[in-house]
Amino acid sequence: MRCIEVVELMTDYLEGALSPRERDRFEEHIAGCDGCRAYLGQLRVALRVMSGLAAEPVPARIQEELVAAFRNWKSGNV
Ligand SMILES: [Zn+2]
């Protein structure tokens, strides 16, 4: 699984929406990737803040912005 795939699954992971197989692959990547592990930590905090503001699932638009931010962050570090 590539980093960008992991990032795209992060909100589903935090909502417990992944299949057991996806979750295994996700956790396997997270265990070996410092960047994704750090990003997952940030996303977890962000989701907690957002869920405090509105009891709604994360809007797809916000998820897309997070993915775009991650892409920029990743390319800036290569
Ligand atoms: Zn990664």
Q: The tokens 């997070």 sit on which residue?
A: 66
Q: What is the DSSP letter of 33?
A: -
- In percent, how much of the chain has pLDDT > 90? 47
If you average pLDDT over residues 23-42, what whole number do you get? 95
User: Do 7 and 68 meet the contact criterion of CB atoms below 8 Å apart?
Assistant: no
Return the higher-pLDDT residue of 49 and 32.
32
* pLDDT exceeds cutoff 70 at 20: yes
* Distance between Cα 69 and ligand 1 center (Å): 14
In terms of residue numbers, what domain contains 18? 3-76
Nearest to 42 by CA among 3, 75, 72, 69: 69
* Distance between Cα 78 and ligand 1 center (Å): 13
The phi, psi pair for 40, rounded to 5°, reads -60, -40
Two structure tokens written together for 61: 């638009």
| Domain total of the chain | 1
What is the distance between the alpha carbons of residues 52 and 48, in angstroms, rounded to a whole number?
6
If you average pLDDT over residues 49-70, what whole number do you get? 72
Two structure tokens written together for 17: 């929406």
Supply the CATH number for residue 65's domain: 1.10.10
